[in-house]
Amino acid sequence: MNSLKISIVANNIKILGSNGTKGLEGGTSAFYIDSENMIDAGNLLKPLGVESARIKNIWLTHSHLDHIIDIAYVLDSYFEEREETLVIKGLKETLDAVKTHFFNDVIWPDFSKITLGNSNINALAYEEIDLYKEYTLGSGIKLEAFETDHTVKSCGYVVQKENSAVLITADTFGLESMISQLAVKKEIKSLVIECSFPSKMEELAKISKHLTPKLLFNKLQTVDNSNLTLYINHIKPLHKKRILEEIALFKGSWKVKILKDGEIINF
Ligand SMILES: [Zn+2]
Ligand SMILES: [Zn+2]
């Protein structure tokens, strides 16, 4: 993964997983922010390999499996290589769900009770984050969570370096809070928005709190897109062909790119 080392130099993030569910051709949501920080953990192990042992923080958007699954395997597969605690960052409800339903000694070991090697360093820890608070990483990148609209408590992130930023919605139905972020953060140059289902599945999209191309571009109608690039992720692979056709149909003047695993967003 030599290209990953390049990605921390400039203002860019790497897409480790772009799909809305696990499929043969790719992984689910995960973003490489720098060598120590990832957003979501849908697909870390395969693209990063042993490099995943160096991850210090995973910033979660929400507790759904397609966003958390590789936390389990990063800990397990590279346990011997880990030297520091893996810290899971997220909203209180997200962390509570991960502790109660995932690392609970039933589904997977409670790694927060396990220490690394012969040390007294815990393998796993949790740190609650606040919405609308800026967190500065060692690499100088700033992260800020904003609330999103999903079936469980959820957030997206604005990732900023110097004077430019990329906004990631993660799973959401409403885009009001994202549009509010655009109004106050003029540094945002790129948007990553989910689009899970084709428009014929609008009812399911509403119930499961996801977007279709029609809903997405309707909700974006009031947004001035002259300085924005729109990246789309979280497409359900089964419906990809139809979704891409509909995006082309509804996108209007938006500059749109469909994200693929391994792709880099320069922002
Ligand atoms: Zn979800
Ligand atoms: Zn998801």
Domain CATH for 61: 3.60.15.10
Residue 105: domain span: 3-266
Q: Nearest bound ligand to CA 173?
A: 1
Residue 7 confidence class, pLDDT cut points 50, 70, 90: very low
Q: Nearest bound ligand to CA 150?
A: 1
Span from the CA of 192 to the centroid of ligand 1 (angstroms): 15
Report the chain's mean pLDDT, rounded to a whole number.
95
Q: Residue 65 and residue 20: Cα distance in Å, rounded?
A: 11
pLDDT in tens, 20-45: 998 888 899 999 999 999 999 999 99
Residue 265, CA distances (Å) to 14, 28, 189, 231 in order: 6, 17, 11, 9
Span from the CA of 134 to the centroid of ligand 1 (angstroms): 24
pLDDT in tens, 50-79: 999 999 999 999 999 999 999 999 999 999
Residue 4 confidence class, pLDDT cut points 50, 70, 90: low
Span from the CA of 88 to the centroid of ligand 1 (angstroms): 17
pTM of the model: 0.95
Span from the CA of 205 to the centroid of ligand 2 (angstroms): 12
Span from the CA of 16 to the centroid of ligand 1 (angstroms): 17
pLDDT in tens, 96-138: 999 999 999 999 999 999 999 889 999 999 999 999 999 999 9
Residue 9 confidence class, pLDDT cut points 50, 70, 90: low
Span from the CA of 152 to the centroid of ligand 1 (angstroms): 8
Q: Residue 232 and residue 22: Cα distance in Å, rounded?
A: 17
Q: Nearest bound ligand to CA 20?
A: 2
User: What is the domain count for the chain?
Assistant: 1
Mean per-residue pLDDT, 209-235: 97
Q: Nearest bound ligand to CA 151?
A: 1
Span from the CA of 210 to the centroid of ligand 2 (angstroms): 9
pLDDT in tens, 152-199: 999 999 999 999 999 999 999 999 999 999 999 999 999 999 999 999
Cα-based angle 90, 93, 99 (whole degrees, multiple of 5): 80
